[in-house]
Amino acid sequence: MEQQNNLAADTQDVIATPASPAPPAKQPLDLARMKVEKSCSRGLAPWLAANRLSLAISSYQSGRVYLVGSDKQGRVSFFERIFERAMGIVGNAQRIYLGGLFQLWRFENVLRRNETIHQQFDKCYVPRNAQTIGDLDIHELGIRKNGKVVFVNTKYSCLAELSQTHSFKPIWKPDFISKLAPEDRCHLNGLAMVDGEPRYVTAVCRSDSVDGWRDRRHDGGVVIDVTTNEIVCEGLSMPHSPRWANGKLWVLNAGTGHLGWVDFEKKAFVPVAFVPGFARGLSIIGNVAAVGLSKPRNQRFEGLQLDEELRTRDADPWCGVQFVSLANGDVLHWIRFEGDVTELFDLAFLPNVRNPMMVGLRTAEIRELITFEPETASEAAPA
């Protein structure tokens, strides 16, 4: 197993939460003191380097964003920052969006082409904007072709955009949801973008009652076409993370532990690979899918078919990422997290990024790293 390079963990980088008139009954975890061990398959570093790829991973449980790349010594590079309740994450070589506890963050890469920082990082993502939206239980994100961010507003069972004045602007809700209410009725969670527009979403069920999804976890899951409101797949168990790639709609049937695709004619799920954990977070590049895995949690994740699948295979659940071939379902590479973190939420490939870093909120860099736009357009070089 390859020696890991823990490059940076900003133990002071914690977002302050707003004052509350009464303290919560249960004290939150001390995010800064969480201890996590990381390991990976031996072939991961050269694979990332050869394809000039990095991976951004979010974990709301640990309040971390993990950036995984490869360094000049041919090792896997882990860089992490703390953002409380880090949820949906989407991005590219220039920009990353992240959903948090009560804000939606925008990070910008400030490095130019062939420029590095600290003699090793080829991208430096700086938090340039944090729009306060309140605790909407924000889930997955997408970037529309007009540049606007669309996000799954799970608490209000709808898709939404940012508003200049309010917490959000609703742009779509399922037909079976009768009104916008902070009740998380169907547990709308996943979003697939097609040609720069929201196209498919996943929900745990079609409930129109407060918290109704918890009683429908085994087979109430649906995939919905946003443009037609048609249910294109049903009978799923806690589906998550729909993604359009290679002419197919890929979905994680989390309650059974399977990655697969939707057969539109039969309105059925076609499994391709079993993954040992609660599958949530999916990113596809070429014919390889990165699948996020979490260990089953009491009540919400336990008691599903996934438990029996693990017993049948004599396997323990993972917290980590498996890189799966879409051609045959084989696991090509993997990342594993052990210790205080047991759950991941989302992940995103970052093409054309070799070794990224991110500026934290309580570091010297947030004060001292100052950049400015060039005086002439000819001085600017795309990142």
**How far apart (Å, rounded) are the C-alpha atoms in residues 378 and 380?**
5
pLDDT tens string 111-137: 998 999 999 999 999 999 999 999 999
pLDDT tens string 281-316: 999 999 999 999 999 876 556 678 999 999 999 999
Q: b/e for 64-103, b at 16 or more Cβ within 10 A?
A: bbbbbbbbeeebbbbbbbbbbbbbbbbbebbbbbbbbbbb
Share of the chain above pLDDT 70, in %: 88
Domains plus CATH for the chain? Answer: 5-13+34-370 (2.120.10.30)
Bridge partners for 64 per DSSP: 59, 82
Residue 325 pLDDT:
98
**How far apart (Å, rounded) are the C-alpha atoms in residues 70 and 171?**
39
362-370 contact pairs (CB < 8 A, 24+): 362/10, 362/12, 362/13, 362/14, 363/10, 363/12, 363/13, 366/127, 369/110, 369/124, 369/126
